[in-house]
A = this chain, B = another copy of it.
Amino acid sequence: MEKYYVSYNKIHSIMKDLSQQIIESGFEPDYIVAIGTGGFIPARMLKTFINRPILTVGIAYYDLNDNIMDEPNIIQWIDDPDKKLKGKKILLVDEVDDSRATIGFCLERLLTHKPLEIAVTVVHNKEKEKRGSIPPEIQKYFAGETMEDQWICYPWDADEILEHENNC
């Protein structure tokens, strides 16, 4: 599969563009919720342009011994979530909407805490068959770039960042 290398600066610029789309849509979140670990960096970049507190949830499809699992492993959830999220507007952030499994899982679970509204934003959305789905309650979805199915190489996964940069 073709590899697509993306730099930190490019993702920063995408998050700025996304923030403008979100602001123009009229959506004013109470909280940014970052899906970890892929959403941590995009969410922090976004906070510069939409200055709301960041909460995080950690989801992994592997256990502590790096065994791959069918069901997601919840590394961390929001503490006291009903109190924090009930009636609130949430902007959920992840790096990529690939199979949609993680995002779908998080949305279902966040909805149990009865937020007023959730909007989704991702740096990249891959146009492909999705295993997960976005619940009908979710009406706002913002993608920085929509693309064919490719292997995206994120800068934070680079062993040598200057080598990575040369491939961007």
A residues within 8 Å of B by Cβ? 7-9, 12-13, 16, 30, 34, 36-37, 40-41, 43-45, 47-49, 51, 53-56, 58, 60, 64, 66, 75-79, 155-159, 161-162, 165
Contacts and interface: CB of A to CB of B under 8 A. Distances in A.
Contact of A56 (B45, B76, B157): B76
Contact of A9 (B8, B34, B47, B79): B8
B48 A75 contact: no
Q: Is the interface of A mostly helix, strand, loop or mixed?
A: mixed
Given A77-B79, A79-B77, A156 B55 contact: no
Contact of A13 (B9, B54, B58, B161): B161
Given A8-B12, A40-B43, A58 B64 contact: no
21 contacts: A7-B8, A8-B9, A8-B12, A8-B155, A9-B155, A12-B156, A12-B158, A34-B40, A36-B54, A40-B40, A40-B43, A40-B54, A47-B156, A48-B156, A48-B158, A53-B75, A54-B58, A54-B75, A56-B56, A76-B78, A79-B79
